[in-house]
């Protein structure tokens, strides 16, 4: 009886990480393509981990989280404009958050790293992983929260 219970538990837990969840989102092609060696040479170790391996920086570690100056946030890898400062808000999550991207400059996909589907965001120009999109943002604007890793961004102040 003990053997049957253990077998059932093993089957249940292994089915939670089945093929549907392991299936990778089809690789999109982006205008800027480089080899992994080139990306490693151009990005810091943390930027490479976040932007090329879909990692996450520690919350509250980015100085951009507390930046509310006027300007534009661009991709740290290719300088493509991604978010306007007027759409930034303090979500309290520890990552820079925006209620919308610059239209057409962010690409969306799905990741299953945590065992369930999440809306992943990439730079539409180079494919760098930025963060994730959620529907729990400010209701008075778009209701969206684009939760972005600060190391994936550079801030360009307004003139």
Given this model, what pLDDT does residue 97 score? 98
Given this model, what pLDDT does residue 62 score? 96
Concerning whether 147 is annotated as a catalytic residue, the answer is yes
pTM of this structure: 0.81
Given this model, what pLDDT does residue 3 score? 54
Given this model, what pLDDT does residue 16 score? 38
Residues 6+ apart with CB under 8 A from 82: 72, 73, 74, 75, 101, 102, 105, 106, 123, 130, 148, 153
Given this model, what pLDDT does residue 85 score? 98
- For residue 37, count other CB atoms closer than 10 A to its CB: 8
Q: Which two tokens stand for residue 93?
A: 């999550």
- Residue spans of the chain under pLDDT 50: 5, 7-26
Encode 116-128: b = buried (16+ Cβ within 10 Å), e = exposed.
eebebbbbbbbbb
Find tokens 């049957």 and name the residue.
4
Residue from 75, 123, 126, 147 carrying the catalytic annotation:
147
């Amino acid at each position: 009886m003990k053997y049957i219970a253990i077998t059932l538990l093993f089957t249940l837990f292994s089915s939670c990480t089945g093929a549907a969840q392991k299936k990778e989102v089809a690789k999109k092609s982006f205008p800027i393509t480089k080899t992994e060696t080139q990306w490693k040479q151009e990005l810091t170790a943390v930027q490479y981990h976040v932007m090329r391996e879909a990692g996450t920086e520690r919350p509250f570690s980015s100085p951009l989280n507390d930046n509310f100056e006027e300007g534009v946030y661009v991709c740290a890898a290719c300088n493509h404009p991604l978010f306007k400062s007027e759409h930034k808000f303090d979500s309290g999550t520890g990552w820079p958050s925006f209620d919308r991207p610059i239209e057409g400059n962010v690409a969306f996909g799905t990741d299953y790293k945590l065992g369930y589907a999440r809306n992943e965001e990439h730079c539409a120009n180079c494919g760098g992983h930025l963060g994730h999109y959620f529907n729990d943002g400010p209701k008075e604007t778009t209701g969206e929260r684009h939760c972005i890793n600060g190391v994936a961004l550079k801030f360009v102040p307004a003139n």
